A and B are shown apart, each in its own frame.
Chain A
Amino acid sequence: GAGVSQSPSNKVTEKGKDVELRCDPISGHTALYWYRQSLGQGLEFLIYFQGNSAPDKSGLPSDRFSAERTGGSVSTLTIQRTQQEDSAVYLCASSWRAGGSYNEQFFGPGTRLTVL
């Protein structure tokens, strides 16, 4: 596609359930990023993938959060045993590669997660 796509656009779940959020990056982009945007905390980095290198997981808030990227393209962010504080908009972005002063990241529209 022309841009980064994410699905679903909205997800409502009950506390304690697991959820999977999907990201399709721009074709050819080797770097993929996940961010979380909430009212109180702004936009926070979660994890990024660069090519076949091990992902940088330094932003993941707990071990309930994990992500994988298959075939260097599509990525899935999984949140296990969801809590109400997980409610936020989850944004995915991609770029030609990670790093570099002019690294432009292209963002998807986000998935709005609501945990009841």
Chain B
Amino acid sequence: AQTVTQSQPEMSVQEAETVTLSCTYDTSESDYYLFWYKQPPSRQMILVIRQEAYKQQNATENRFSVNFQKAAKSFSLKISDSQLGDAAMYFCAYRNSFLTQGGSEKLVFGKGTKLTVNP
């Protein structure tokens, strides 16, 4: 079974600085998807960024970018120019490709990293 590990329960960053959140995963599949979701105090789960495993190029979305290291099974999230509104729980998630035989549509989540942004 696939597992996702977020080794940093809490992180903090100064406003306008850069922070990197770590995520590692375990899978025997070659094709899959990885996601970062943000959960602010409102508890809404918000998609931050998505990466397809077959793509070598790292995904970016404005101030958010990932460092996807497929061989190392690592998927870190970098937040540049951190803003107060970035304070939230961040969850890394994995999902098999729908082409995987017997593949599941479920997302496998890490336990989350709580990010604090200091003014």
Q: Do A and B come from one complex?
A: no
